């Protein structure tokens, strides 16, 4: 009996290891490509990027492992820093929403936003991944010192297409909670990262 079980265990282990060995490099390339695509999407002129880690209170340190990083410094064709792609996540209507947004330090503005992961209600909350909603986040000017000086939320959620300022985000009809979740996640992330980025841009460049 034990011999059979051990035998089956060996067969199973062999199958898993074989499949893993074959697929692991492909999966790694897939993940890398997905990350690259997302970063190029949120910060248009990016030609290369490198991942950073927060060390201590406000020091950024370069890391080699892309997977676990929250912030990526993005460089243009001349290898000069144009901005950061920052990952942020928080609670949505049903599950965690993971976002990636690009912040340009040249124009001191949010350049774009993509949703990396969300399980919002299909047809309603899932519209946070739609072009119409994400276009709200193209070109929002937020000064690097804005957070410290104003002590207010950088972005504001509004309804019924009454947008008068780029910092106002139009809520999706019927999905106010999901829309608000995105704005809240972004506000929290901006308040956290912008002061750090403001201090850090010199050594990284």
Partner 1 sequence: MDKKILQIHSSPHISSGAGVDVIMRNVVYALLPVVAFSIYAFGLAALFTLMAAVLSCLLTEHWLCKWSRQTTSVNDWSVAITGIIYGLTLPPNLPLWMTLIGGVIAVSLGKFIFGGLGYNPFNPALVGRAFLQAAFPTAMTTWSAAFGAQRFTSLPASTLTFPLTSPQYDSLSGATPLAAMKFNQQPTDAMDLLLGLTSGSLGETCAVLILLGGLYLIARNMMNWRIPVGIFFTVIVLSALFHFANPHRYPDAVFMLFSGGLMLGAMFMATDMVASPITNLGCFIYGALIGTLVVIIRLWGGMPEGVMYAILFANAVSPHIDRFIQPTPFGHRS
Partner 2 sequence: MSTKPGEIIVTGPKDTDEFIKGVWAQNPVFVQVLGMCPTLAVTNTASNALVMGLATAFVLLMSNVLVSSLRHAVPKQVRIASYVAIIATFVTAVDYIIQAVSLEVHKSLGAYVSLIVVNCLILGRAEAFASKNNLKRSIYDALGMGVGFTLALLCLGVVRELLGNGTFFNLSVLPGNFQPWVIMLLPGGAFFVLALWMLLINRLKQGGPRD
Given the rule CB under 8 A, which residues bind partner 1?
124, 173-174, 177
Residues within window 85-144 making contact with partner 2, judged by CB under 8 A: 117, 119, 121-124
Provide the residue count of the chain: 205
* CA 9 – CA 7 distance, rounded (Å): 5
Closest CA to 112 of 93, 127, 131, 126: 131
DSSP state of 11: H
Nearest distance in Å: CB 94, partner 2: 11
Are residues 126 and 104 in contact, defined by beta-carbon separation less than 8 angstroms? Answer: no
First-last CA distance in the chain: 65
177 touches partner 2 by CB under 8 A: no
1 touches partner 2 by CB under 8 A: yes
Nearer to partner 2, 36 or 108 (CB): 36
Nearer to partner 1, 74 or 171 (CB): 171
With CB under 5 to 8 Å by kind, the binding choice for 16 among partner 2, partner 1, none is partner 2
6 touches partner 2 by CB under 8 A: no
Nearest distance in Å: CB 174, partner 1: 5
Question: If you write DSSP's letter for every residue of 42-104 in order, what string do you get?
Answer: HSTT--EEEEEEEETTTEEEE-S-STT-SEEEEE-TTS-EEEEEEEEEEE-SSSEEEEEEEEE
Span near partner 2 by CB under 8 A; candidates 3-11, 51-59, 138-146, 176-184: 3-11
User: Which parts of this chain interact with partner 2 (CB under 8 A)?
Assistant: 1, 4-5, 7-9, 11-12, 15-16, 19-20, 22-24, 26-27, 30-31, 34, 117, 119, 121-124
């Amino acid at each position: 009996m034990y011999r059979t079980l051990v035998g089956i265990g060996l067969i199973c282990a062999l199958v898993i290891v074989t499949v893993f060995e074959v697929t692991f490099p492909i999966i790694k390339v897939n993940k890398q490509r997905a990350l690259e695509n997302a970063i190029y999407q949120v910060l248009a002129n990016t030609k290369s990027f490198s991942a950073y880690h927060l060390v201590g209170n406000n020091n950024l340190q370069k890391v080699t492992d892309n997977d676990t990083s929250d912030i990526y410094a993005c460089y243009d064709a001349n290898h000069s820093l144009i901005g950061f792609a920052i990952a942020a996540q928080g609670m949505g209507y049903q599950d965690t929403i993971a976002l990636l947004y690009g912040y340009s330090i040249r124009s001191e503005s949010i350049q774009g936003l993509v949703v990396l992961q969300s399980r919002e209600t299909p047809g309603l909350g899932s519209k946070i991944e739609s072009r119409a909603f994400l276009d709200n986040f193209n070109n929002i000017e937020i000064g690097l010192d804005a957070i410290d000086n104003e002590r207010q939320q950088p972005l504001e959620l509004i309804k019924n297409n009454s947008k008068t300022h780029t910092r106002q985000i139009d809520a999706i009809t019927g999905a106010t909670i999901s829309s608000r979740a995105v704005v809240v996640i972004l506000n929290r992330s901006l308040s956290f990262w912008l002061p750090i980025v403001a201090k850090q841009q010199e050594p990284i460049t």
